[in-house]
Amino acid sequence: MIKDASAPIGVFDSGVGGLTVAREIMRNLPSEKIVYFGDTARVPYGSKSKDTIIRFSRQITRFLIEQKVKAIVVACNTASAFALDALKSEFDIPIIGVIEAGALVAAKETRNRRIGVIGTEGTIGSRIHERFLHSIDPSLEVIGKACPLFVSLAEEGWLHDPVTTLVAARYLEELKQKDIDTLILGCTHYPLIRSTIAGVMGEGVRLVNPAYETALELKVLLGDMGLLALKAEAEDFPYRFFVSDLAEKFKAFANSILPFDIAMTQKIDIEKY
Ligand code: DGL
């Protein structure tokens, strides 16, 4: 484990979704450097088995550790649901996922105690949000719905497209019938189509994007370990981006959602790790 506050934070996801978490870390911990990895060759994760996701997550963790990161954020709900425990027990580095932070906020915010969770087939099938929410309050009613096409729509950049609205209306109908007042965006790709989801669910439903709370959880963790960066080293660009396929497409997407243009994205062979 690297005990160097000026070392970067590793952040990973199956593709561009984790950029929604990276963006919150950039906003809330502006002195931190970030090494981001998007597994664009193997996206989507949501339809793959637990064993496969653990294997992918181990490879990425090894790669990030080679980049000398001081902590890792698993910016993917599917990988958090399937692989976080394995990673934490196998690697000697602070690692956090994105599930607990969102569940805590939802439990606090709900008034009618009916919480919806949308995510990939893997995340919803694991029922991890439900288990976590019930450990906070067993009386909460938790209704999960897998929305796998949202990942492809977000990766395609169809963030405000009539097709996305139609797909959302079809997936979310069931949740609307259940009278939830809080909806956890349980996939890091979904904040990219937040306005479409909000439009379909209507004003009475509060959407919870766990990215912000994850950034705060990271801040507390680094603070407790004495690993918070004190100030950015102004001479370098503090963010590095790596992918497993098609770096140009990723770069164009990242440039459209981050508040600055990234100069370079490097493609690496993740299977080597
Ligand atoms: N963004 C990821 C998540 O939070 C995974 C999406 C996917 O690759 O299926 O679950």
Predicted local confidence at residue 246, as pLDDT: 86
Mean pLDDT for all residues in the chain:
94
* Domains of the chain, start order: 9-97+212-272 (3.40.50.1860), 100-210 (3.40.50.1860)
Predicted local confidence at residue 205, as pLDDT: 97
Least confident of 101-110, 132-141, 179-188, 249-258: 249-258
62-92 pLDDT, tens digit per residue, is: 999 999 999 999 999 999 999 999 999 999 9
pTM: 0.95
Judge if the beta carbon of residue 126 lies within 6 A of ligand 1: no
Q: How far lies 120's CA from each of 85, 110, 227, 232, 266, in Å?
A: 19, 22, 33, 36, 27
Question: Which atom of ligand 1 has the smallest separation from the CA of 45?
Answer: 8
Cα–Cα dist 24/216, whole Å: 9
Cα–Cα dist 58/54, whole Å: 6
Cα–Cα dist 212/98, whole Å: 10
Predicted local confidence at residue 175, as pLDDT: 95
- Give the model's confidence band at 261: pLDDT under 50 very low, under 70 low, under 90 confident, else very high: confident
Q: For a pocket test of ligand 1, which of 82, 128, 189 has the largest count of ligand atoms closer than 8 A to its C-beta?
A: 189
Residue 189 Cα to ligand 1 midpoint, Å, equals 6
Q: How far lies 57's CA from each of 32, 99, 145, 172, in Å?
A: 23, 16, 24, 30
Q: Is 135 exposed, middle or buried (0-12, 13-18, 19+ CB in 10 A)?
A: exposed
242-257 pLDDT, tens digit per residue, is: 999 988 889 988 998 8
Q: Is 163 exposed, middle or buried (0-12, 13-18, 19+ CB in 10 A)?
A: exposed
Percent of the chain with pLDDT over 90: 89
Question: Which atom of ligand 1 has the smallest separation from the CA of 187?
Answer: 4
Predicted local confidence at residue 234, as pLDDT: 56
Q: For a pocket test of ligand 1, which of 151, 153, 194, 209 has the largest count of ligand atoms closer than 8 A to its C-beta?
A: 151
Q: For a pocket test of ligand 1, which of 20, 24, 78, 100 has the largest count of ligand atoms closer than 8 A to its C-beta?
A: 78
Question: Which atom of ligand 1 has the smallest separation from the CA of 119?
Answer: 10
Predicted local confidence at residue 1, as pLDDT: 81
180-212 pLDDT, tens digit per residue, is: 999 999 999 999 999 999 999 999 999 999 999
Question: Which atom of ligand 1 has the smallest separation from the CA of 39?
Answer: 8
- Give the model's confidence band at 231: pLDDT under 50 very low, under 70 low, under 90 confident, else very high: confident
Identify whether 187 is a catalytic site residue.
yes
pLDDT (average), residues 48-68:
98
Q: Which candidate in 53, 54, 75, 76 is catalytic?
A: 76
Predicted local confidence at residue 263, as pLDDT: 84
Identify whether 147 is a catalytic site residue.
no
Residue 122 Cα to ligand 1 midpoint, Å, equals 9
pLDDT at residue 264 greater than cutoff 70: yes
Predicted local confidence at residue 14, as pLDDT: 95
Judge if the beta carbon of residue 123 lies within 6 A of ligand 1: yes
